[in-house]
Amino acid sequence: MNTEQPAMKGKRNVTKPSIVVGLVVIIAILPLVLSSIYMLHILILIFIYTIAAVSLRTITISGQFPLAHAAFMGIGAFSSGMIAKWLGWSPWLTMPLGALVAMGIGMLIGYPFARLRALYYAMGSLFFGIGVISIIYAGGDWTGGYSGLTGIPPLLPLGTSKVPYYYFFFGLAAVSLLALYRFEFSRIGLNLKAIAQSHIAASSVGINEGWYRILVVGVGCFFAGLAGAGYAHYNTVVVGTSFNFMATLWLVMYVLIGGINSFIGPIIGTVILILIPEFFRDLQTYSPYVTAAILGIVVYLMPQGLVGLPQLIRSRLFERRKGKRIANAS
């Protein structure tokens, strides 16, 4: 579970903001160009899952590998949806509330789980996630049981087109990513990376390992809950199976395929894994093969994920010119 950060290259930082601004402008004018409602729906899903995937990666920088992230999306989705439906509160209020519930539960279980490390943390969180889903199934009328919670009040009035939703989730994703980026490159983020490299050395210089691990789980779960709550009020129907173990594994895939060692990795991974199968929709039930092929190519040829691709190509070319081997494997 290697989560170390490669050193930032000062020279390239100059162009970074312009790339980000360019991307934001392109995404902002996309609905004016794109007429397909279905495509807008896919893009909205990409925004939601980007928040979840990036927040999952934020937890992994502390050396923990949670396998319950979709379950926290589920906690956010169901708590927000249930409060809005049964108490009649406004979705604008219940969405942050759902995120806070996910954060609270994440920090509560983070306390006993802080003594589990590496693989045992992953397994403990996996079982916790399964427990959450079975509690949702056992919830009867409150959660809708196996058939899911229906009739959740939508975020915007009924009959609103996809375009306002698109801009809302674009804004939500932008703010969340900015917050997570600031968090990762803050002093707290540095402490978390120190814990990931050696928890003993980190404790010996006065970093409170347990507290920081609980804190990062809380932050990660907050954004997962926010993404889940957003999904609930966008889709108005949520089913437990959308947040089960396989859904968590998909979030893990989004992170790993893009590259777990860089902030941009999960974003690229989410876009690629949600968008590419859409281009092969004509294949219908055979389209998972396309996903499997992409994953296979990445796992065999790109040890750093898709983010490492430019560097990989550069080093391959350089290697050929110089005529000597340069190790580019992780």
Partner 1 sequence: MEEALATLTNWLILSSMYILVALGFAFLFSIMGLLNLAHGAIYMIGGYIGLAFITSLGLNPWLALILTTIIIGAFGLFLERFCFRPFVGNFNRTVMICIVIILVLQTSVNNIAGTQTLSLPPFVEGVLRAGPASVSYERIVTFAIGAALLGAVVWFVNRTKWGQQMQAIAQDTEGAYLQGINVHRISALACFMSCGLAAIAGCLIGAYLYLGPFMGDFMLVKILMLVILAGVGSISGVLITGLVLGALDAVLPALLSGAYSDAITVTIVVVLLIIRPQGFFGRAVEM
What are the residues binding partner 1 (CB under 8 A)?
1-2, 65, 112-113, 115-120, 123-124, 126-128, 130-131, 134-135, 137-138, 145-146, 245-246, 249, 252-253, 256-257, 260, 285-286, 288-289, 291-292, 295-296, 298-300, 303, 330
DSSP 85: I
User: Considering beta carbons, is residue 92 or 289 the nearer one to partner 1?
Assistant: 289
User: Considering beta carbons, is residue 93 or 297 the nearer one to partner 1?
Assistant: 297
Shortest Cβ distance from residue 89 to partner 1 (Å)?
27
Shortest Cβ distance from residue 155 to partner 1 (Å)?
29
Shortest Cβ distance from residue 146 to partner 1 (Å)?
8
What angle, rounded to 10 degrees, do the helices at 37-60 and 162-184 form?
A: 20
Which token pair is 328? 């580019």
Shortest Cβ distance from residue 180 to partner 1 (Å)?
20
CA distance 103 to 215: 9
For the four alpha carbons of 17, 23, 27 and 28, in that order, the dihedral sign comes to positive
- Burial code (b: 16+ CB inside 10 Å, e: under 16) for 166-202 equals bebbbebbbebbebbeebbeeebbebbbbbbeebeeb
DSSP 83: I
For the four alpha carbons of 107, 134, 250 and 303, in that order, the dihedral sign comes to positive
Shortest Cβ distance from residue 145 to partner 1 (Å)?
7
Chain centroid to CA 154: 23
User: Considering beta carbons, is residue 116 or 275 the nearer one to partner 1?
Assistant: 116
User: Considering beta carbons, is residue 121 or 166 the nearer one to partner 1?
Assistant: 121
User: Considering beta carbons, is residue 57 or 85 the nearer one to partner 1?
Assistant: 57
User: Considering beta carbons, is residue 173 or 271 the nearer one to partner 1?
Assistant: 271
User: Considering beta carbons, is residue 121 or 234 the nearer one to partner 1?
Assistant: 121
**C-beta of residue 238 within 8 angstroms of C-beta of residue 127:** no
**C-beta of residue 230 within 8 angstroms of C-beta of residue 102:** no
**C-beta of residue 167 within 8 angstroms of C-beta of residue 249:** no
User: Considering beta carbons, is residue 8 or 118 the nearer one to partner 1?
Assistant: 118
**C-beta of residue 97 within 8 angstroms of C-beta of residue 79:** yes
Shortest Cβ distance from residue 64 to partner 1 (Å)?
12
User: Considering beta carbons, is residue 49 or 128 the nearer one to partner 1?
Assistant: 128
**C-beta of residue 269 within 8 angstroms of C-beta of residue 253:** yes
Shortest Cβ distance from residue 95 to partner 1 (Å)?
26
Which token pair is 12? 């390239």
Shortest Cβ distance from residue 163 to partner 1 (Å)?
34
**C-beta of residue 55 within 8 angstroms of C-beta of residue 255:** no
CA distance 291 to 272: 9
Shortest Cβ distance from residue 88 to partner 1 (Å)?
27
